[in-house]
Each structure stands twice: as C-alpha cells, then as structure tokens.
Amino acid sequence: MERPYRRRIQLVRRLLVKSGAEALVVTHPPNIFYLSGFSGSAGALLIEPHGVTLFIDGRYTTQAREETADARLRITRGSLLTAVGERLRKSERARVAMEPAHMSVAQHRELKRVADAKIRWVALWGPVEELRAVKGADEIAQMRQAARLGCQVFEKVLPLVKPGVREVELAAEIEYRMRQGGASGAAFPTIVASGARAALPHAQPTKKRLRKNELVVLDLGAILAHYCCDLTRTVYLGRAPSGIRRWYQAVQEAQAAARDALCAGVAAGEVDAAARRVLKRFRLDRHFLHSTGHGLGLEVHEEPRLAKGQKKIIQAGNVVTLEPGVYIEGVGGIRSEDDVAVFSDRTETLTSAPRDLLEL
Ligand SMILES: [Mn+2]
C-alpha cells in the first residue's frame, strides 16, 4: 500500500492557506494517525509549510520510527505541548491553527504561555475530520474486512443467544471473539439488551438473564487494523407475536428506504428523512429516538451525520451506518444496523449478517 500521508498533508496545507494560518497543531490521536501513520495514544503533530514534526515522549520512540516516515520526530522529556510551543516561538509563526474540538482550555493555555504572545490562534473546526470522511479505496477495503469480522462474530455468537444466559456473558463472548479474530478491541462497549432493556438505545449489558419471549438487541463493533465496523441485529427468543413482527417489518423498511435514498450528491438529512417517513407510515416515528446513522472509519462516530435537517452533501468515499430503530418503553426495542460505503454511482453494504427476523 502506498503511503497516503503526503497527499493528506498537502490537503491539510491547502485548508490552512485558505484559513490564513501557517501551521496546525494536531493532538487528537485518530487525526495524528491519519496524517502520519503514528498510532500511539499520545503525541502532537505540527504541520508547517515545509515540514511535519511529530512530538512524542520516550515511550513511543521505537513505535514512531517504525510507523512514520514522512514526519520529523521530536522526542520530548517534558510536556508535548510545551515543546510544540517552543518550536512555534523559535520559528516565529504569526498565525497558528488548532482544533478546538480536541484541545482543552488548559492545553491551549499551555501552548499560549510558551509560544510567542503575538501569535494569532485560528480555530479550525474539523479540518482533518472533513478529509477523513472521504475514504480512499484502501480504507474501504480495510473496512470491508472489519465488517466481515463483525458479521462472523455475530454468527458465531448466535447459538449462545438463548434463555438463561446473562447479557454481560454474551457481551464478553462477543468481545473475546473479536479479539480472537484479530481485532485490536471493541469500537465501543458492546450492547446486549434484552426484554424491556432493549428499549434503551444505549443500554449497558447487565447481569440480567435472557428469557423466552423477549427481544434481544446486539450491537457490536470491532476495530481491525485501525478501522471500525458497527453492526446491530435484533433477535426474538421464541415465536414473535404479530405486533413485534410489525415493528420489525417497519424497521427493515425504514432501513431499506434509507439505503435507497443514500447516494453521492444527496443531503445527509434526506437519508434520515427517508427512514423517518417509513416509520411515520407505521405510526412509530415518535419511537425512533436517534438519528438514522453516522459516518464510520478510524472512529465509530464520524462525519457525515445522517440526522434530521443535515444539509451536508453525501460524497463518494463516505462510509456510513444505517440504523433506524424503534423503542417502546417497558416492552423492548428493535434496531437494525448496517455499514454502507458510497461510491460515485452506487453503494455497497459492507455488513452481510442476515436481516430477516431470527426467532431463536
Ligand atoms: Mn452505530
């Protein structure tokens, strides 16, 4: 695989020129990885017109040498941001950009204290996230693998989904199998929510045992070679009554409508509206408690957001989840989630786990 970092840095520099800044300080680890290949959990990347410097501490020297070729390494003894500030002072930068979404007030104060007081700080909202939203072919290939692993884990765990097992046991089993399959970890705490708890979209697994005649929502994400997948399926333990089947049907149709609406050139809010219209037809729209989906990549929640009123235009290279759901307090919930890559002329659903209602 050709190292993509040089091109990405060029794109960032172009954004910097537009904003009038000469340099950008990056501290968010996924952004540092995206721009340099360094995957350590702490570092600071300084992008200047004629160089890129990665500031790390001594714990990461070997790793940084292995992972980065295009950035100059600065191994610091003290604080990373103090070193960045000193560098900015010496190079006499006048306008420097930072990412307010990723820098604490304390960190910014530290930078300002060390760097020249005359520096004008420019707040750039999500410049790297904008680039990350548009995946290259290599990234999509990696996400295909992550999605495949997620689906394999789901299918392997299905035989264990039965009355008597505890939610926490199933969640642990899911995360164990992800790791066995090569994942570096779960992209988020695995959700196993049964019975009335399935009505909580972000339920934490508990010691509750699964029982017959309950809905069970399983929501899992694996990180494989840095890229995430995000998969949700809802199963029924026993034979589902007609009311539950109707809800399930509604969620499936809402997801299909979102998938049909999703294409390069459409507004993100339109995809959300397509799912919502279907649920309204089933009179379930007020039970749909979240947005239809979100971008997915190095992080599990990225741009673009498929939410009500979002005007952002879907582009070829976006990878998003489509995950409508209905949640009925005291009864249970149903969510179905797939990961979909957008190309200029088509979409590809990366997750292949069965979508029909499974009655176990
Ligand atoms: Mn999701």
pTM, rounded to two decimals = 0.95
The H or E element containing residue 72 is: strand 72-76
- Using CA atoms, how far residue 162 sits from 159, 221, 337, in Å, is 7, 21, 21
Evaluate if residue 105 carries a pLDDT over 90: yes
Phi, psi of 354 (to 5 degrees): -55, 145
How far is ligand 1, taken at its centre, from the CA of residue 79, in Å? 35
- pLDDT band for position 3 (cuts 50, 70, 90): confident
Q: Convert the pLDDT of each residue in 20-55 to its tens digit.
A: 999 999 999 999 999 999 999 999 999 999 999 999
Q: Convert the pLDDT of each residue in 256-302 to its tens digit.
A: 999 999 999 999 999 999 999 999 999 999 999 999 999 999 999 99
How far is ligand 1, taken at its centre, from the CA of residue 113, in Å? 40
How far is ligand 1, taken at its centre, from the CA of residue 296, in Å? 8
Instruction: Of 116, 68, 129, give the one whose Cα is nearest residue 299.
Output: 129
Evaluate if residue 332 carries a pLDDT over 90: yes
Evaluate if residue 1 carries a pLDDT over 60: no
> What is the DSSP code (8-state) at residue 327?
E
- pLDDT band for position 116 (cuts 50, 70, 90): confident
User: Which value, to the nearest 10 degrees, does the dihedral of the CA atoms of residues 179, 39, 134, 137 take?
Assistant: -70
How far is ligand 1, taken at its centre, from the CA of residue 102, in Å? 22
How far is ligand 1, taken at its centre, from the CA of residue 230, in Å? 5
How far is ligand 1, taken at its centre, from the CA of residue 232, in Å? 8
How far is ligand 1, taken at its centre, from the CA of residue 41, in Å? 23
How far is ligand 1, taken at its centre, from the CA of residue 69, in Å? 34
At 126 the pLDDT is 92
Phi, psi of 56 (to 5 degrees): -140, 170
Q: Convert the pLDDT of each residue in 289-301 to its tens digit.
A: 999 999 999 999 9
How far is ligand 1, taken at its centre, from the CA of residue 61, in Å? 35
How far is ligand 1, taken at its centre, from the CA of residue 111, in Å? 35
How far is ligand 1, taken at its centre, from the CA of residue 92, in Å? 44
Q: Which two tokens stand for residue 255?
A: 């997801």
Q: How much is the average pLDDT of 76-96?
A: 94
- pLDDT band for position 243 (cuts 50, 70, 90): very high
> What is the DSSP code (8-state) at residue 360?
-
How far is ligand 1, taken at its centre, from the CA of residue 130, in Å? 19
At 267 the pLDDT is 98
Angle at 296 between CA 207 and CA 24, to 5 degrees: 120
How far is ligand 1, taken at its centre, from the CA of residue 56, in Å? 32
How far is ligand 1, taken at its centre, from the CA of residue 273, in Å? 17
How far is ligand 1, taken at its centre, from the CA of residue 150, in Å? 13
In angstroms, the CA 245 to CA 61 distance is 56
| Amino acid letter, residue 212 | K
At 348 the pLDDT is 98
Evaluate if residue 86 carries a pLDDT over 80: yes
